[in-house]
Amino acid sequence: MKSNIKLGTIHGIEIGLHYSWFIIAALIAFSLGEHFRQVNPNWSTNQIWTIALLTAVLFFVSLLLHELSHSLVAQTRGLKVKSITLFALGGVSQIEGDATDAKTEFWVAIAGPIASLVIGFGCLALAAGLGWRRPAEPRTGVTAVLVWLGYINVALAVFNMIPGFPLDGGRVLRSIVWAITKNADRSTRIAARIGQFVAFLFILDGIWQFFSGAGFGGLWIAFIGWFLMDAAKASYAQVEITAAFQGMRVSSLMSRDCITVNRGMSLQEFVDTYLLKTGQRCYAVEDQSLLVGLITPRDVGAIPRELWDKTTVRDAMRPLAKLHIITPDTQVLDALKLMAANDVNQLPVVANGTLQGVVSRSQLMQLLQARSELHLPTTQYPPITAHG
């Protein structure tokens, strides 16, 4: 997740906000205002909103401290941390590269919940020191803030320790399975499966509560479950992809039957003789047998139809300088990352200035599908080599 608003840097880590954070910040401030109004009817409206806003900001700080603990522990264990982004459901630390051993995974994962627990109990202890006694409602503004922050941080720690990957608890579980089985991939698969099961329970519980009259609260639980389900599925797929393409180079699976077209051709001619007849998605544009660009149906569609006669392929293509090029030696996993990072569906494979082939996302996904239909255990069979 990319942050939309950058707040600054701590210890080399970029701190940012995603737009969705504002929705949740407003919701929290609003429900806090309601909460304080009910609990302390003698407070003025001004007082209530000032305290609600202050509490929302402090909640944001405690979330940040949770993420920072993950990140700082990761840094001391030799992992690079790029950024922390706060969004509607909490925070994400973007840690480059995965933990290479179970111990690192364990400490990085558990650091966040420990921080939340310490903050939570710290706030409650402070409130108690200021005269607040359970179960009475706090009477002063300061204790009201401390008590709310205390409970929410303890809740945050407990929620994050739910053993559903990719929640912190799921990562802790994964590291333990990893330490026992000594197999990182298998531990992710197991943790992701448990994560899907936990997410399913959340959705069921949310729907149940919704129909028992909990309304919005029930829907919220179901929504968190849906989010967890999605994340667990993505983690599982990531392991499958990594296992399937580990060590493979682009040259072994790129499609070589790439059609080349002349750059001087009009778009109308290109559409009539190639696009509508071959059904190919991607064409190489050449000039004296050197690759100068690529043209896809998307590029043609960007030009108004009445101009197709007067526009040449060269005018509509994406020139070489604007393309992300890979070589036949590029690792398939790196190619996939490049496609995801730049939001493109195919990459031209170039060597010595000439096009060798094209690798496309859909082609890789078809390979993956074929593998799963054959039920090949990904680690024991040699990788599929030739294609197209």
Within residues 74-93, the interface with Zn ion by CB under 5 A covers none
Stretch binding Zn ion (CB under 5 A), from 109-117, 197-205, 252-260, 295-303:
109-117
* Minimal distance, residue 67 CB to Zn ion, in Å: 7
What x/- string results for residues 325 through 354 when contact with Zn ion is judged by CB under 5 A?
------------------------------
Nearer residue to Zn ion within complex by CB, 168 or 299? 168
299 binds Zn ion (CB under 5 A): no
Stretch binding Zn ion (CB under 5 A), from 17-25, 26-34, 71-79, 107-115:
107-115
Pick one of 48, 132, 157, 168: the residue that binds Zn ion (CB under 5 A): 168
Q: How far is CA 388 from CA 65, 255, 256, 294, 353, in A?
A: 51, 5, 7, 19, 22
Q: What is the 3-state secondary structure (H, E, C) of the chain?
A: CCCCEEEEEECCEEEEECCHHHHHHHHHHHHHHHHHHHHCCCCCHHHHHHHHHHHHHHHHHHHHHHHHHHHHHHHHCCCEEEEEEEECCEEEEEEECCCCCHHHHHHHHHHHHHHHHHHHHHHHHHHHHCCCCCCCCCCCHHHHHHHHHHHHHHHHHHHHCCCCCCCHHHHHHHHHHHHHHCCHHHHHHHHHHHHHHHHHHHHHHHHHHHHHHHCHHHHHHHHHHHHHHHHHHHHHHHHHHHHHHCCCEHHHCCECCCEEEECCCEHHHHHHHHHHHHCCCCEEEEECCEEEEEECHHHHHCCCHHHCCCCEHHHHCEEHHHCCCECCCCEHHHHHHHHHHHCCCEEEEEECCEEEEEEEHHHHHHHHHHHHHCCCCCCCCCCCCCCC
* Minimal distance, residue 82 CB to Zn ion, in Å: 16
What x/- string results for residues 136 through 165 when contact with Zn ion is judged by CB under 5 A?
------------------------x-----
* Minimal distance, residue 167 CB to Zn ion, in Å: 7
Nearer residue to Zn ion within complex by CB, 74 or 291? 74
Backbone angles phi, psi at 360, to 5 degrees: -120, 155
* Minimal distance, residue 27 CB to Zn ion, in Å: 21
* Minimal distance, residue 197 CB to Zn ion, in Å: 20
Nearer residue to Zn ion within complex by CB, 112 or 218? 112
Q: Binding residues for Zn ion, how many (CB under 5 A)? A: 3
Nearer residue to Zn ion within complex by CB, 110 or 316? 110
Nearer residue to Zn ion within complex by CB, 171 or 371? 171
Nearer residue to Zn ion within complex by CB, 53 or 114? 114
Nearer residue to Zn ion within complex by CB, 43 or 60? 60
Stretch binding Zn ion (CB under 5 A), from 98-106, 168-176, 283-291, 300-308:
168-176
Nearer residue to Zn ion within complex by CB, 65 or 179? 65
Terminal CA-CA length for the chain: 35
* Minimal distance, residue 111 CB to Zn ion, in Å: 8
* Minimal distance, residue 168 CB to Zn ion, in Å: 4
Nearer residue to Zn ion within complex by CB, 160 or 251? 160
* Minimal distance, residue 305 CB to Zn ion, in Å: 52
112 binds Zn ion (CB under 5 A): yes
Distance CA 224, CA 167 (A): 11
Q: Which of 44, 10, 19, 50 minimizes the C-alpha distance to 32?
A: 50
* Minimal distance, residue 126 CB to Zn ion, in Å: 23
Site residues (vs Zn ion, CB under 5 A): 112, 160, 168
